[in-house]
Amino acid sequence: MAINVAVVTDDLLLSEKIIKALDYNYNLRFFNYSDFIIEEIEKINPELLIVDIISIPKYFTGFIERIRNTSFLSSKKILILSQNKKIDLIIGEQSKVNAYFTKPVDFDELNTAIKNNIKRNGPIVVIDYDKEFLELTELFLKSNGYEVITIENSLKAIDTIRKTHPSLVIVDLIMPDKDGFEIISELFGEEKKYDIPVIAVSAISFNKLNKKGIISGYPEYISRDLTPELIKELVENSISNVFVSEDEKIKVLLADDELGLLLLLRESLEMAGFKVFTASDGKEAVEKIYDLNPDIAVIDYNMPFKNGMDVAIEIKNNPLYSHMPIIIVTGKSDKETKIKALNMGIDDYIIKPVDTDELVARIRMIVKRNRLVLDANPLSKLPGNPSIQSRIEKAIEKNEKFAVLYVDLNNFKAYNDVYGFEAGDRVIKTLSDILVNIIMPEFSSFDFIGHIGGDDFIVLTTVDRAEAVAKKIINNFNQIVPSFYNDSDRKNGYIITSDRSGNVMKFPFLSVSIGIVHNLHKPLRSYAQVSHIGSELKKAAKSAGVSSYIMDRRHS
């Protein structure tokens, strides 16, 4: 049976290559972007959706958001695939730009590129539809003494450049209305009107596979020229879940005493990319939940030893597991049973015979919703304490060599008292952006950033990177700190407010303290031990009174 594949692109050449790459085993349908594209794609029920990011830059971000918010499509496999010779403007022998950075940008490297290329006085123009990047870049550049003009509407870019005669332009490549490729083409057109250094930035990488794109969150491959052979390989790998590691797969516990149905559901869920565990009765289901800690349990209502409802009651009454989503599967369709299950906190209810496509979609939707509700910090959007503990415990269990940086701000309460909570939130968000900007350019599946709460963060990385990361955090934060204060306080170099005992005092500017815990010389056996050592080291770093880090040098 042919595999349904939906392709969203305006690029006829790419369409021809996809047709050439995929044989009769694939049923291809091509779509131009429209307001009704989601409904059109849903009609063909594709197993894979291919999206060309470069041919629809005006709509791409909104389109990806619509996919995420559509339960049917969010459960499908998605591949971002683009080719465009405009990439020659950015990389290669014909490059027209002075530097190119992939987001999140390393501001140390950006600063070096600016110093190497800026030739005259004048403002730096930053063009990007991403408000957070604009604000953070503006803070950074102003703290380094540059005059800055930010442009969110890319249609105004060329006119602003013409009027302001900037010393340098920083431009994002993927923007609605007018993308960075067009702006760069105009700046370096045949008339060569503008002799201005240009630094390009983007959340996309070129000529290499990115298993989790920064903008989309899906596998991406973007190049000036895609071959049919490469397209076929990428499509086959997408469909077979090669891009998803075992650790990233959703863990599902299936519990049913009907062996035939159990095996059928297991096969379907594994083909959909889940990691599946099974139990044949209620007692075994409870034991495996406690032992394996799955992301979700799909439990039959009628089972020996302990029925599905009793299993659900036990799990929901256990404070350590009450957050775990449960789907009850039953042959009963009566309203009373369904209401009873939902009133108990059961997350969903499916009537036999089970539609496996529907089950897959519901599992993905429920797990995604559960993770968002439980974990993400509302301010930074970084993973919270459950994920932090889970990631550190996983590193311990695997006997990996790792380092954890405990990051905390100094004088934050005093700053909050003087400038208010809204300004304090801005500082916390800036610190979280700095952490992401430092970790992501060299990101591997090993690295992790978490937000403990307030002004406390952790970074998990390799031991050999730990000190370099700490130094970058301190350097980047120190450069931006003055921008958090008004002119008067900047001139003084301190603020005046009451301490916790009510004594009026001078408080220095915000600084960052980092304690680095690692297991290079001695084993770490628990999350609690890591947390305790981290708190000790962070406290010691705080005693310096300025931004500093302390790495555990003890061997016993």
Q: What is the pLDDT along the chain (556 residues), one digit of tens a residue?
A: 788 999 999 889 999 999 999 988 899 999 998 888 999 998 888 989 999 988 777 777 778 878 877 766 766 788 999 998 888 888 877 788 999 988 778 788 888 999 999 988 899 999 998 887 888 888 888 888 899 999 999 999 999 999 999 999 999 988 888 889 889 988 887 455 668 999 999 888 888 887 777 667 788 899 888 999 999 999 988 887 766 665 567 899 999 988 888 888 898 888 877 889 999 888 999 998 888 889 899 998 888 888 888 888 888 877 567 778 999 888 766 666 666 666 666 778 888 888 888 888 888 888 877 766 666 777 887 888 888 888 899 899 888 899 999 999 999 999 999 999 889 999 999 999 899 888 866 556 678 899 999 999 999 999 999 999 999 999 999 999 999 999 899 999 999 998 878 888 999 999 999 999 999 988 898 888 999 999 889 988 988 889 999 999 887 6
Contact 295, 254 (CB under 8 A): no
Each domain of the chain, given as residue ranges in start order, spans 3-84+207-239, 92-202, 251-372, 385-551
Asked whether 73 and 45 are in contact (CB, 8 A), the reply is no
Distances (CA, A) of 273 to 6, 76, 216, 252, 306: 19, 10, 19, 11, 29
Instruction: Provide the greatest CA pair distance for the chain.
Output: 82
* CATH architecture of the region 92-202: 3-Layer(aba) Sandwich (3.40)
486 SS3 class: coil
> How far is residue 371 from each of residues 55, 362, 497, measured CA to CA in Å?
32, 14, 40
Rg of the chain (C-alpha set): 27
* Tokens 């910090």 -> residue: 377
Question: Tokens for 531?
Answer: 């947390």
Domain 3-84+207-239, CATH: 3.40.50.2300
The answer to whether the 92-202 and 251-372 domains have the same CATH topology is: yes
How far is the CA of 514 from the CAs of 78, 282, 473, 511, in angstroms?
A: 39, 47, 9, 10
Q: What distance in Å separates the CA atoms of residue 461 and residue 518, rounded to the nearest whole number?
A: 10
May I ask the CATH architecture of the domain 385-551? Answer: 2-Layer Sandwich (3.30)
CA 189 vs. chain centroid, Å, equals 36
Domain 251-372 fold is Rossmann fold (3.40.50)
Report helix, strand or coil for 174: coil
Instruction: Determine phi and psi for 198, rounding to 5 degrees.
Output: -125, 130
- How far apart are the C-alpha atoms of 438 and 194, rounded to whole Å? 32
Residue listed under structure tokens 């009704």 = 36
**Preceding peptide of 104 cis, ω within 30°:** yes
Number of residues assigned to the chain: 556
